[in-house]
Amino acid sequence: MKILYAAAGEGMGHAIRSETIINQFSKNTDILFVGGGKAYQHLRNKVKAHKINCLNIVYEKNKVAGFKTFLKSISTIPKLIKEIFKVRKIIKKYKPNVIISDFEPVSIYAGILTGTKVITLDNQHIISNTKIKYPTKYWLSAFTSKTVIKMIAPWSNANIITTFFHPKIKKKNTFFIGPVVRNKIKRIKPKEKDYFLVYQTSDSNTKLLKKLQKTNKKFIVYGFHKNKQFKNVILKKNNETEFFDDLKNCKGVIINGGFTLMSEALYLKKPIMSIPVREQFEQILNAVYLQKKGYGVFVENFSEKAFLGFENNISDFKQNLKKNPVNFKTNQIKYVVDRILK
């Protein structure tokens, strides 16, 4: 079987998930990867790969800068059209049985043009394909996200959604699988030391560092791309080995709402304080259901009071993670793909 696999280049989550899933397919499956940004950088030496231009999100002060992101997206449309026809040529030459896209639009549009079967495999389609519940004040953000999802993936043969929560499915040919977790995470045996791990999607949230210093707790912080220490706050540059070690031993994690790291923390049964990037509905939804499941808390802004509430309830979160664990089974992926092809 031949698979054209594509992944969005924004953030590391899509790249990490794609690598893990690609490794699940048997050796007699031929896979060609297309993508840009961090996804291409991460996978280019691990699988046959073609680089394409990708969409990017603009962040300002820990918030999605919607208008600037829109303007940047508009300016890249001519390039994206060119990329669609570039991938169309790749498809005609490669002749894949199916295209699997992790929220990457160019491959989907090229697949539509060539009549190739398309499967989406991501966590974003839970927003458009299920009956999710969330506070009404996020209605506009949810509507915007659904519109973006429809633009990125206007059509597909099926949607595979990786998730730790399971709302009612409202669209046919939609399948749930557990969160995709790297084997390196699965090999970790978690412990607990007296510090909290902090990870930020964007380095624009500098106010958080000042607020952390006002507490009397120790924090190890990633996402600001520097090695530095301010009293009780230790900043570290991204280093996979060190990060895994810090995640393994932390008391709890303070993150935005990104699905990949949230899933890895849940796998290691680490309580989570989620502070989603503002206007990023996907992250907001993850945080809403994280709190509903009792695995942690959802707060819009970090404060000493919110942190104290989180810390005081850590034992309850740990109990919930043990009594009602997340199902991490992902072995349905190949079965679903084979079923769609048949």
Residue 58: band (very low, low, confident or very high) from pLDDT cuts 50, 70, 90: very low
With a pLDDT cut of 90, the percent of the chain lying above it is 70
What does the pLDDT read at residue 132? 98
What does the pLDDT read at residue 201? 77
Nearest 5°: CA angle at 15, between 14 and 20? Answer: 100
Neighbours of 207 (CB within 10 A): 12
What does the pLDDT read at residue 61? 53
Give residue-wise pLDDT tens across range 67-124: 444 444 555 677 888 999 999 999 999 999 999 999 999 999 999 999 999 999 999 9
Q: Are strands 196-199 and 219-222 parallel, antiparallel or unpaired?
A: parallel
Q: CA–CA separation, 316 vs 164, rounded Å? A: 19
Residue 62: band (very low, low, confident or very high) from pLDDT cuts 50, 70, 90: low
Give SS3 for 69: helix
Question: What's the CATH code, domain 2-178+329-341?
Answer: 3.40.50.2000
Question: What is the mean predicted confidence (pLDDT) over 228-247?
Answer: 94
Residue 60: band (very low, low, confident or very high) from pLDDT cuts 50, 70, 90: low
Residue 32: band (very low, low, confident or very high) from pLDDT cuts 50, 70, 90: very high
CB 252 within 8 A of CB 270: yes
Question: What is the mean predicted confidence (pLDDT) over 42-61?
Answer: 76
CB 260 within 8 A of CB 17: yes
Give residue-wise pLDDT tens across range 284-323: 999 999 999 999 999 999 999 999 999 999 999 999 999 9
DSSP state letter for 35? E
Residue 192: band (very low, low, confident or very high) from pLDDT cuts 50, 70, 90: very high
Question: What is the mean predicted confidence (pLDDT) over 273-285?
Answer: 93
CB 120 within 8 A of CB 6: no
Give residue-wise pLDDT tens across range 146-189: 998 998 999 999 999 999 999 999 999 999 999 999 889 999 99
For the chain, where do the domains classified as CATH 3.40.50.2000 start and end?
2-178+329-341, 184-323
Neighbours of 126 (CB within 10 A): 25
Closest CA to 13 of 129, 123, 96: 123
Paired residues of 130 in beta bridges: 169
Q: CA–CA separation, 103 vs 35, rounded Å? A: 10
Chain-centroid distance of CA 234 in Å reads: 25
Distances from the Cα of 283 to the Cα of 23, 85, 242, 259, angstroms: 27, 32, 25, 7
Question: What is the mean predicted confidence (pLDDT) over 24-45?
Answer: 89
Architecture of the structural domain at 184-323: 3-Layer(aba) Sandwich (3.40)
What does the pLDDT read at residue 65? 46
What does the pLDDT read at residue 339? 78
Q: CA–CA separation, 14 vs 89, rounded Å? A: 24
What does the pLDDT read at residue 78? 77
Give residue-wise pLDDT tens across range 118-146: 999 999 999 999 999 999 999 999 998 99
Q: CA–CA separation, 169 vs 24, rounded Å? A: 26
Question: What is the mean predicted confidence (pLDDT) over 13-30?
Answer: 87
Residue 162 — φ and ψ, nearest 5°? -90, 125
With a pLDDT cut of 70, the percent of the chain lying above it is 92
What does the pLDDT read at residue 70? 47
